[in-house]
Amino acid sequence: MTMKRIRQWSLIASIILGLILALSACLFLHFYASPRTYTDASLLGGPAGLTVLAIVVALSAYLRSVATGADEKRQEIRANKSPLYPTLSPDGSRNPWTTKKLNALDNTYENLHIAAFFLIALSFVIAGRLWAESVVRLSSDWLRHGQLFFRLCDALILEWLTLSFVALAVMHRRARIRDEEIRVAAESYRTP
């Protein structure tokens, strides 16, 4: 069930992201594509592009560590090794807050795998964009004509990165509120 849910949400999120980026590209082209000569370098050329790539890679590593932590906590609770979230209550029934915590950890684990897919894809896009500029620099004539393309790519990459940060902030905030509610319920039930 988990992999099916991850595939579903990955597909839905991919379509939504594609539509947002396509709409943004159309808007950028419509408003900024008037013929002009660019004298300055593109936004993500050289060190700036490598910096953005490093940020995305670092964020991907962070998400991987959080997903691993969520998975370890799930295994600890299922093995009944967590004193705050015992699997069974003293009367033998399953604790409701433990079930909620396991569901929350499952949800966190799934969401992080969905987010990781987009960050990996973003890493490939940034690397491809940097590679394309390095190849194009071999022919400086095309570089002058390709500046609009590179600026459009830069704007879309930065938009994608911003949307990733917003989505992660929203998911983190929702998960933090949910986890705190579960923890408070578990603490109040545990202490007489």
Mean pLDDT per 10-residue segment, the chain (192 residues): 63 76 74 62 71 83 85 87 77 77 85 80 81 68 67 80 82 82 75 54
pLDDT recorded at residue 181:
82
User: The pTM is what?
Assistant: 0.63
Does residue 125 lie in a domain region? yes
Does residue 32 lie in a domain region? no
Alpha-carbon distance values, 168 to 20, 60, 163, 188 (Å) = 17, 11, 8, 30
Does residue 164 lie in a domain region? yes
Longest dimension (CA), the chain: 79
Does residue 82 lie in a domain region? yes
What is the extent of the structural domain holding 147?
A: 2-27+44-190
* CA–CA dist 63, 30 (Å, integer): 36
Residue 170 in tokens = 């929203």
Provide φ and ψ at 75, rounded to 5°.
-65, -40
pLDDT recorded at residue 108:
84
* CA–CA dist 190, 57 (Å, integer): 41
Q: Return all residues near 101 (Cβ < 8 A) that are at least 6 apart.
A: 77, 85, 179, 182, 186
For residue 94, the SS3 value is strand
Q: How many domains does the chain have?
A: 1
Report CA dihedral (74, 75, 79, 82) to the nearest 10 degrees. Answer: -50
pLDDT recorded at residue 89:
67
Does residue 38 lie in a domain region? no
Does residue 95 lie in a domain region? yes
Does residue 140 lie in a domain region? yes
pLDDT recorded at residue 90:
67
pLDDT recorded at residue 142:
59
Residue 24 in tokens = 């943004």
